[in-house]
Amino acid sequence: MNKISKEKRSQLVLVIIVVLAVIIGIWFSLIRTQQEDLRTLAAKKQDDSKKLDQIGDTIKNSKKAELELAAVSNELAQAEQNMPSGDLYLSMVDTIRKFKTNYDVQISQFTPSGSDTPVNLLPRFPYRQVSVSISGTAHYHDLGKFVADFENQFPTSRILNLDLSPAAVTGPETREKLAFRMDIVSLVASSGTHSTSNP
């Protein structure tokens, strides 16, 4: 083999260094940038795919959510029908009298507690409240059943401030009776809260 001169060897080494520098420059300036862009696009594609799946799930579940909303709206409309309306005091007294016919509870006095007032439990609550105080006599078991059944049948009403004491004894049939006094508080639909349509 022929020996390469020192000058040509230096030029060859210089050419090899320049070629390597150009290849490394091309790698870092073009190929590596393109690979990073491809990685970024792949991550964006994966995120977009997840969002698309979530949108698809939402669309699939929208019918179910619509049915649930209709059911809840119907329940709300039924609950609002049990709320006092018109003459609020008279409406509550009438409801209590009709309800008590199935119970051995004697109600001797109804006392209105004023007009309807805003509910201060929650801010911007769409209902108002009205209360009436009742007093009378009953056996302990009958009164307990009356209270529990009333609150179960009328979920928009609550019995508060229940006060029990022994009833004044006037005969043998009243010996074990209790005198009671309680406040019945009921929500009242404000104007505009009634459902305008039932789905």
Span 114-173, pLDDT tens digits: 667 767 666 777 778 888 899 999 988 999 999 999 988 888 888 888 998 888 766 666
71 shares a domain with 44: yes
Q: By C-alpha distance, which of 94, 102, 82 is closest to 134?
A: 94
Mean pLDDT of 45-57: 89
Percent of the chain with pLDDT over 90: 12
My answer on whether 98 and 147 are in the same domain is yes
Q: What is the pLDDT at residue 180?
A: 92
The pLDDT > 70 percentage for the chain reads 84
Same domain for 108 and 16, yes or no, is no
- The overall average pLDDT reported for the chain is 81
User: Is the distance from CB of 143 to CB of 105 less than 8 angstroms?
Assistant: yes
Q: Is 175's pLDDT higher than 80?
A: no
3-state SS assignment for residue 116: coil
101 and 118 both lie in a single domain: yes
Burial class of residue 77 (count of CB atoms within 10 Å of its CB; 0-12, 13-18, 19+) = middle
**What are the beta bridge partners of residue 186?**
130, 157
Q: H or E segment at 106?
A: strand 105-112
Lowest model confidence (mean pLDDT) among 53-57, 70-74, 116-120, 139-143: 116-120
CA distance linking residue 26 with residue 20, whole number of Å: 10
Q: Are residues 130 and 147 part of one domain?
A: yes
Q: What is the pLDDT of residue 192?
A: 45
Residues 97 and 60 grouped into a single domain: no
Distances (CA, A) of 32 to 1, 18, 37, 45, 145: 41, 20, 9, 20, 79
Query: In this predicted structure, which of 28-37, 57-66, 99-108, 168-177 has the lowest mean pLDDT?
Result: 168-177
pLDDT confidence of residue 153? 87
CB 92 within 8 A of CB 130: yes
Give me the domain span that covers residue 15. Answer: 1-81
